Amino acid sequence: MLLRTEGRAFHWYCFFTCFLCILALMITVTDLSLGFGERSLFKDVNLKFTPGNCYGIIGANGAGKSTFLKILSGEAEHDKGEVSIGKGERIAVLRQDHFAFEEYPVIDTVIMGFPKLYDIRKERETIYAKEDFSEEDGLRASELEADFAELGGWEAEAQAGQLLSGLGLDESDYQSVDREKLMSELDESRKVRVLLAQALFGNPDILLLDEPTNGLDLESISWLEEFLMDFPNTVIVVSHDRHFLNAVCTHICDIDFGKITLYSGNYDFWYQMSQMLQRQARDLQKKNEEKARELREFIQRFASNASKSRQATSRKKVLEKLDLENVHVTSRKFPYAGFKPGREIGNNVLRIEKLCFDFEGAPVLRDFNLTVNRNDKIAFVGIEHVSKSAVFDIITDSVKPASGDYYWGQTTSFSYFPKESSVFFNSTLSITDWLRQYSPDEDETYIRSFLGRMLFSGDEALKPVNVLSGGEKVRCMLAKMMLSGANVLILDEPTNHLDLEAITALNHGLEAFPGVILFNSHDHEFINSIANRIVEIVPSGNGKDGGAPGAVIDRMMPFDDYLRDDSVKALRAAAYRHTERLRI
């Protein structure tokens, strides 16, 4: 009996100790509020962030995502409330100033992510560099050696090198033959990677990352995803990369209406949940409006009837309590993208033969060949961005090739979304009149129905097109494509300038499209969920223009499979004559 009691006591002791450890590592946000003038950014926010979880912060542009991270890190003030972090816990932040460490060696910059270790390391080096090494220096060196070893100082440089390697930097990027390279010697994309390595270094207790995938190639992003999935402590991240959020997040924090609501699950789970809640809110709003109408009719009919006046008064009170204005789930607006081809596409879609094209005196396509089939949804990937755009411009008759031919099938009709669309908006036409130019039906209601799907309603549809923002122009171009009835859609980086809601809506619209799609994008999830065929234009390695793009790696497979395929990696290495990390 005594043994059983002691065992139970030990069990509760272990449980209580673990609970205290979690509390010590937890970030607690209590009644947090922040406003700018009359605008309230956050109001009475209460959250707990616990170890072993990754929290994605999402919200519309200007909602305060980066500001919230700065409040958590102590870089920004708040109006009221409290942010509590366990005593002695170390916060690491991905710094946005890419030029803050110009005079420091790259390895030193990474180790600065652990300030205590970096300071000990530098003091230790200073003492050992003294010519007149005193007894006092010896005692201090002994103390420093103990702290240096305890904090992992002997492994620091190796760990920093591993982080840099995972993020795509070779040793030659930070170490020359006779010296360490300085941050000032790196280009900006490499500086971004060094600052990310700095944030990850030394196993921080709390990791705050603002757009960590910016500037990274896909292999580095994949490495970062694996790193964060195995990371044992607390991660809080702001990102517009849906694939990244889906891979790493255990929770989503949605900033909306001045509140921050915590959801379990990744971005896709949040999206499905928010859509369901919006439907429920609309249903509730509809029921409330119907009930209000019935109550008003009853009150009007019986308010002057003495026998019914008590019931009328009672129902008037019920009507006053009905909230017809504030049934809200989200302030975000989700456009609708739906593309319906006017006719079914035949077997012969497009054949491209030996296309050649020069841009600004340099060859960007040499002997490019491709056959497009009726069920293809082709993503063009890789670093040859000018070459990809050139293919799209040529097959849509926007530019003439130097040589070569292309043949469209008789049943095909295409609609093109070019990378640069400003030429379409050099007029003072209203959005409605602008779209009318491309509509088979000039009826106002018909045209406005397409604009409404792209969130141009009421007076918004009367704005002149020459004052539109980048995102508004993209939505106009998508409305134009929806009107076309084309069975081939060609899109050159359509996700540029769009927010997450619009990207997700376009993503779903293209997934459902029954025709052919040729496209490129910098959005991993967009490519992976739409494309069934991947084409990468690579250097041809033949003829007098030996390095000019023209050869293709062509695989009938989803994008994630393409990234993992060993034969693809071998072909890329041969084409570039080195291991070239894939970018989109």
Return the pLDDT at 329: 59
CB 517 within 8 A of CB 491: yes
pLDDT at 195 over 80: yes
Residues 470 and 467: their CA atoms lie apart, in Å, by 10
How confident is the model over 416-447, as pLDDT tens digits? 999 988 899 999 999 999 999 999 998 899 99
Q: Decide if 579 contacts 566 (C-beta within 8 A).
A: no
Per-residue pLDDT of 349-394, as tens digits, reads: 999 999 999 988 889 999 999 999 999 999 999 888 899 999 999 9
Contact (Cβ atoms closer than 8 angstroms) between residue 199 and residue 93: yes
Amino acid 20: pLDDT: 42
Q: Tell me the two tokens of residue 409.
A: 């099938």
**pLDDT band at residue 196, thresholds of 50, 70 and 90?**
very high
Query: Within 10 Å of residue 172's Cβ, how many Cβ atoms?
Result: 9
Task: Record the pTM.
Answer: 0.78
Q: Per-residue pLDDT tens for 203-235?
A: 999 999 999 988 787 888 888 999 999 999 999
Q: Cα–Cα distance between 251 and 249 in angstroms, integer?
A: 5
Q: Is the pLDDT of residue 23 over 80?
A: no
The 10 Å Cβ neighbour count of residue 137 is 14
Q: Which residues of 287-316 are buried (b: 16+ CB within 10 A; e: fewer)?
A: eeeeeeeebeebbeebeeeeeeeeebeebe
Quote the CA–CA distance of 92 and 85 in Å, as a whole number: 13
Q: 92-101, pLDDT tens digit by residue?
A: 999 878 888 9
Topology classification of domain 362-412+489-576: Rossmann fold (3.40.50)
Give residue 175's pLDDT band: very low, low, confident or very high (50, 70, 90). confident
CA distances from 502 to 267, 304, 333, 510 (A): 15, 53, 8, 12
Domain coordinates in residue numbering, the chain:
270-321, 362-412+489-576, 425-486
What residue has token string 């790196």?
Answer: 186
Say whether pLDDT at 276 is over 90. Answer: no
Q: Please count the CA atoms within 13 angstroms of the CA of 556 that sit on its side-chain side.
A: 5
pLDDT greater than 80 at residue 4 = no
Q: 58: part of which helix (H) or strand (E)?
A: strand 54-59
Q: List the strands of the sheet with 80-85, edge to edge.
A: 39-49, 27-36, 80-85
The DSSP call for residue 398 is: S
